[in-house]
Amino acid sequence: MKKEILNLQEEKNLEEDKYLTFAIGKEVFALDIQYIDDIIGVQDITKVPEQPYYLMGVINLRGIIIPVIDIRLRFNKSFRAYDDRTCIIVVKIDDAQIGIVVDTVLEVINISEDEIANPPGHEADQAKQYMKGIGKYNNTVVIIIDCDALIRED
């Protein structure tokens, strides 16, 4: 039992300060690796009527129905046609899974807590309300997304 607890702690330490980065246009965003369940290519998305504009529909991933949002639309950016670089990042929060369409997945990086600044003040930009912080990685500004806020309905 004690060994299992140590293994869980080691696993948690391995995930600490790790973020999956992705691009939306020229901007770089990141999600805490602890939320990432899968990364898949874009597949057929079944439209669901009367949903928010950013909810593209649902996919069937290994027998599990997963809602899919387009993060560009969620951030009030213009729609971009999906191509071979477009990916769906499947995140898991509690027992819920949701797919997030991104332009391209970049890499997993380490950003320590002391390298993350608080998001700027209350501005009108839709994307800012989903920011957890702003990190710096290899001279690149990385916007760290608050996964809970991103999938929460307004």
How many Å from the N-terminal Cα to the C-terminal Cα in the chain?
43
Residue type, 3: K
Q: What is the pLDDT of residues 30-49, one digit of tens each?
A: 999 999 999 999 999 999 99
Find the CATH number of the domain harbouring 20.
Answer: 2.40.50.180
Q: What is the pLDDT of residues 91-149, one digit of tens each?
A: 998 888 999 999 999 999 998 888 888 877 655 555 567 788 888 888 888 999 988 88
- How many angstroms separate the CA atoms of 69 and 52, rounded? 9
Q: What is the pLDDT of residues 61-100, one digit of tens each?
A: 999 999 999 999 988 899 999 999 999 999 998 888 999 9
Q: Which helix (H) or strand (E) holds 72?
A: helix 71-74
* Number of domains the chain is built from: 1
Residue type, 83: D
Q: Which domain holds residue 8?
A: 2-151
